[in-house]
Amino acid sequence: MELMEQKIRKEGKVLPGGILKVGSFLNQQIDTDFLGKIGSEIARLFDGCGVTKVLTIESSGIAIAAAAGMAMKVPLVFAKKHKTSNVDGSTYATVVHSYTHNTDYTVVVSSDYLLPTDRVLLVDDFLANGKALMGLIDLVNQAGATLVGAACAIEKGFQGGGDGLRAQGIRVESLAVIESMSDSDITFRR
């Protein structure tokens, strides 16, 4: 998606530790016109795949997943990062390692919202080492649902998570794939 690359080049900032800050348009502050286009592009990429549900993890993926769900006219489900008092009944849970925060957390989704009949598209803002998506895949498998694929706004190709998932036969579509980045330059995969 050409527009995603333009936005990253124009507004993204590379911070120490390999962190790409896109807070001005994708995370913290979200350009909602752009968000609508992201949703439409994800819907276009997975058109005809019979997706019945979009699944993400709170919280930075929710806006993109909502836009994708609206464009695809299917419900959005977001897995929560810990069991809260307003999730009752039985749940599926898995442990995910966060690269950004360097910590493990438990991700939970109610079994009411992931069904064996569901065809699930995973959606997230960033794909780095792929741990978050692997956690979501585990939840999809626990539910006995079908995984259609994963759509991410920005993939850090140099961290290898996306290619690892593709090597397992999973369809992964990222709207921009960063091959390398430094303070002064960002190179996209062609």
Contacts to a second copy by CB under 8 A: 13, 15, 17, 19, 21, 23-24, 27-33, 35-36, 58-60, 62-63, 66-67, 69-70, 72-78, 80, 84-88, 100-101, 109-110, 112-113
**CB of 68: closest distance to a second copy in angstroms?**
9
How buried is residue 90: exposed, middle or buried, by Cβ count under 10 Å (0-12/13-18/19+)? exposed
For a second copy, which is the closer residue by CB, 126 or 170? 126
Nearer of residues 84 and 182 to a second copy, judged by Cβ:
84
Q: How far apart are CA 132 and CA 100, in angstroms?
A: 11
d(CA 40, CA 70): 9
* Cβ within 8 Å of residue 138, ≥6 positions away: 94
Distance in Å, CB of 145 to a second copy, minimum: 13
**56 vs 170, which CB is nearer to a second copy?**
56
Residue 3, phi then psi, degrees to nearest 5: -60, -35
Q: Measured from the CB of residue 53, what is the shortest distance to a second copy in angstroms? A: 8
